[in-house]
Structure 1
Amino acid sequence: MKKLVTAASALLALMLALPAAAQFAKPEDAIKYRKASFTVMGAHFGRVGAMAAGRVPYDAKAAAENADIAAAMSKLPWAAFPEGSDKGETRAKPEIWKDSAKFKEAADKMQAELTKVAAAAKTGNADALKTAFGPAAATCKGCHDNFRKD
C-alpha cells in the first residue's frame, strides 16, 4: 500500500509540474517546491543506490519502482528556480542564474541518466543496474559541486 501511495504521489507531482512555475506566488514557494522535489527524488534514488552498492539485498521489483519514481521526479525541480528564488532558505548557488545554460545542461544530463537507471532496473539484472547507477550518481554529484552550497 505504501508503494502505491508513493507512486500515486509521484504521478500527481509530475502532472502538476508543468504549470508549477506559474504557481509560485513568492520565491519561498519555489524554494519549498524544489526542496521537496529533490528530497523525494533523492530518497528513491538512494534506495536504488543501496541495492546497487550491495548495502541492502537486491530486489528487482523494488529497484524498478524506485528508479521509475526517481526518474519521474527528476523532471520536477527545474521549474522552481525562477529569478528571485536565490534568496532565503536555499543552498542554491548564484551560478544557477549566472550560467543558466550550464545549469540546464546539467539538469538534462541528470534526467537522461536517471532514465537509463530506470530502464536498467526494469531488466531485473543487478549488474545492469550497477552499471547505470554510477554515471547517474556522478551527474548528481556534479550538480551539487557546481550549483549547491555546502
Structure 2
Amino acid sequence: MNPLFPLTAATLVLLLGACADTSPGGKAVSARHERFEEMGAAMKAIGGELEKDNATSATVRQSADRLAALAPQVKGWFPAGSGPQDGKRTDAKAEIWTRQAEFGAAATRFEAAAVALKAAADAGDAAKIRAAVQTVGAACKACHQTFKED
C-alpha cells in the first residue's frame, strides 16, 4: 500500500468539504436532496416488496409512514436563495419559485397520495396499496416533468 494514499484521501475529504456551499441556500439544497433520496429509497423499498408480492409487509408500512411524514414538508424545502437562479447547483427548475401556486398544488397532490398510501398500508389492503403506489408515482412524475431538470 502506498503510504501517501491515506494522506491523499484525507486531503481530498478536506478539499471537498471546503467546496461545500454552507450558505443558507446551499444548506437547503443539500437537505432537500437528502430528503428526496430518502423518499426515493422508500418508494424503491415498496416497489421491491410489491415485486415479491409482499404488499402488506412491515417494510411497506414503514416506507409508507416515512413518505407520509415527509410529504407535508416538501413545500418548505425550496426557500428563497436555494434555486438555480441564485447560482445554486440543483436539479430544481426556476419554475418552482416563479410558479409557486402550481408547485404548491403539485406538492399538495403528492401529499394527499402519500397519506392515502399510508392509510392503505395501515389497513393492510393489498389492492389499495398497489393502487395508491401508482397514484404516488404519478404525482412524483407529474411534478418532476414540470419542476425538475432531467
TM-score band by shorter chain is 0.7 to 0.9
1:68 alignment partner in structure 2:
65
- Correspondence 1:108 to 2:105: no
Answer whether contact 1:60 1:125 (CA < 8 A) is retained. no
Secondary structure, counterpart of 1:88 in structure 2: coil
CA distance in 1 between partners of 2:62 and 2:121 (Å): 8
- Superimposed CA distance per residue, residues 91-145 of structure 1 (whole angstroms, 9 cap, x where no aligned partner): 1111101100000000011011000001111122221211111111100000110
Q: Bigger relative contact order, structure 1 or 2, given CA contacts below 8 A and separation 6+?
A: 1
Computing the radius of gyration from Cα coordinates, the structure with the larger value is: 2
**Among 23, 28, 31, the residue aligned to 1:30:** 28
- 5+ residue gaps, structure 1: 1-23
CA distance in 1 between partners of 2:30 and 2:74 (Å): 10
Answer whether contact 1:60 1:122 (CA < 8 A) is retained. no
Residue 33 of structure 1 deviates from its aligned partner by 1.0
CA distance in 2 between partners of 1:75 and 1:41 (Å): 12
Secondary structure, counterpart of 2:46 in structure 1: helix
1:133 alignment partner in structure 2:
133
Answer whether contact 2:42 2:64 (CA < 8 A) is retained. yes
- 5+ residue gaps, structure 2: 1-21
Moved over 4 A (4+): none
Secondary structure, counterpart of 2:111 in structure 1: helix
Secondary structure, counterpart of 2:60 in structure 1: helix
CA distance in 1 between partners of 2:77 and 2:123 (Å): 33
TM-score for both structures, normalised by structure 1: 0.76
CA distance in 1 between partners of 2:131 and 2:117 (Å): 9
